[in-house]
Amino acid sequence: MSPQVRARLVPAPPPTPAREAPGNQSWKSKLLATLSVMNFQTATILIALIVFSGSAPHLVAQDVRLLDGPTVLHANIRDQWGGQTYGYLLQGKRGLFWSARPHDKGKGSPTFLIGQHPTPGSTLPSAVTRIRLEDDKFKACNQPQMIRTPDGYLHVFVGVTKKENQKNYAPGKILYYRSDKPENITTLVNRSSLIPTKPYGDFHLRMNVGIGPQGKRMALVILAISDDGSVRFNTPVIFIGERKGADFVFRKPVSYAEPMSLFYPQVAATEKGIIVVGQIWDHAERLKVRLLHLDWDGKLVHRQDLPAEADGQYFSTDLRPDPADSDRLIVYYNKLPKDSKDCRHEFWEYTVSGRKLRLLASLKTEQSWANSGKWFPGTKKYSVFVNNPSMSRLAIWEGDILGGGTVTRKYLPGADPIGRGYKASSCIFVPNPLQGSVITPRELFVASNWYNPGWDAKASGPGSLLLWRFKIAP
């Protein structure tokens, strides 16, 4: 039996489409395409009617307090592709580090951004490093994935696609950069030569990275492909890196499972193995979630699919360690059935040593509040979950989420895109220890990319990356 979670919910907006699968957001694209041809005042009124018709939640609890924000980290970026799953925000001891792609007009060389922003009391200067890939063979790049080692070095991984491909997919290469100094991204050193290119050299770019607890080992998971058919399409591959000096040096990549559409993966590199949680798109009518547990040689030791009882979209967009138990991972599971009658935010526990997956709590919600989000621990009987209902105001769920106690929800103060002149919010980012972030107890940093007034859906921009800092827990 599923645990009974009593959710004391304040009034919510009427149901509107929560979200479609990443990369297939037709309703969002159509809405924003329509808005892009309107003047800003008309567009703002239209979104306000869509999002805020009905009774809106009011602030009822006092456990979450806005400390500062929103701070604009960058005002001209592209949409953060796959952002609900990937972590484009790291927290260090002196500052926050973020990654994005700029919204450049025209077709130029692939370019990505790595930025830094000081935390309160830090002397770290705000800075943005722009890397332009001046290579005629490269066509495009994705938003970089980042990890931070305990000594403060930032390690950046970016996928780039080649121009010569003639098929309906673009094989990509992996590039690796490292910060020249700890906790400072103003100079990035290209260390791509440390990544082997055989037996796998072309990839889909839906990759992710995780770092071990002491920072001595890391894992990068990706899907291998090939133009000539020598590699079966969507072969899951893992690169295991070991720290030597300031760099990671990688073993030859190995395939750890049969070909599958394991998209938008999350990675937990633990002492007892590597856990990968990703979305399986084998059947369009029922997208589901799969957990795979590998040992440090890349051998699969356990696999399990999370339950998907009916057609719909089932995603896991957050995977985090339990700060009180290093053997325990918290898997967030987003359930959006096709008929939208039983939408749920679920929280599962995976015990690494026991290789057991167990449901902790299931929060039933309206479709309008069913957007994916991020879980963040607070105290033993208190944690929070952040999402953005209907692509609008950021919201927070708080209480004894994992223990089956009372949970309340409300809109976050200072996080209303319409009221601040933007068109909508897109994805949410919260620092995660699985990428090496240093978490401050009861202090929550949240970033989100918002659509600027001049947003063009076809160009995926321009947008802005905004940051907030909250105090949580009683």
In tens, the pLDDT along 211-227 reads 998 999 999 999 999 87
Lowest mean pLDDT among 372-376, 387-391, 425-429: 387-391
- How far is residue 151's CA from residue 439's CA, in Å, rounded to a whole number? 15
Query: Which whole-number Å values give the CA distances from 423 to 14, 21, 98, 309, in the listed order?
Result: 19, 21, 22, 35
* pLDDT at 391 > cutoff 60: yes
pLDDT-derived band at 22, boundaries 50, 70, 90: very low
Lowest mean pLDDT among 83-92, 237-246, 369-378: 83-92
* pLDDT at 6 > cutoff 90: no
- 268, 212 contact by CB (below 8 A): no
- 360, 3 contact by CB (below 8 A): yes
According to the model, what pLDDT value does residue 83 have?
63
Cis status of the peptide bond prior to 453, with omega within 30 of 0: no
Boundaries of every domain in the chain: 7-471
Q: Is 40 helix (H, G, I), strand (E, B) or coil?
A: helix
Query: Does CATH number 2.130.10.130 belong to domain 7-471?
Result: yes
This prediction's pTM:
0.86
- How far is residue 103's CA from residue 111's CA, in Å, rounded to a whole number? 9
Q: Which residue has the tokens 């991020």?
A: 374
According to the model, what pLDDT value does residue 58 have?
36
Beta strand extents in 170-324 (DSSP E only): 172-181, 184-190, 203-211, 217-224, 235-244, 247-250, 254-255, 262-270, 273-280, 286-294, 300-305, 312-322
* pLDDT at 37 > cutoff 80: no
Lowest mean pLDDT among 190-199, 220-229, 393-402: 220-229
According to the model, what pLDDT value does residue 161 have?
85
- 229, 287 contact by CB (below 8 A): no
Between 224 and 30, name the one with better pLDDT.
224
Q: Which residue has the tokens 């990549």?
A: 253
- How far is residue 222's CA from residue 437's CA, in Å, rounded to a whole number? 22
According to the model, what pLDDT value does residue 169 have?
67
According to the model, what pLDDT value does residue 459 have?
84
Report the percent of the chain where pLDDT is more than 90. 66
What is the maximum span of the chain, computed from C-alpha positions, in angstroms? Answer: 60
pLDDT of 65-118, one tens digit each?
999 999 999 999 998 876 667 779 999 999 999 999 999 876 678 899 999 999
Q: Is 407 helix (H, G, I), strand (E, B) or coil?
A: strand
Terminal alpha carbon distance of the chain: 31
According to the model, what pLDDT value does residue 168 have?
61
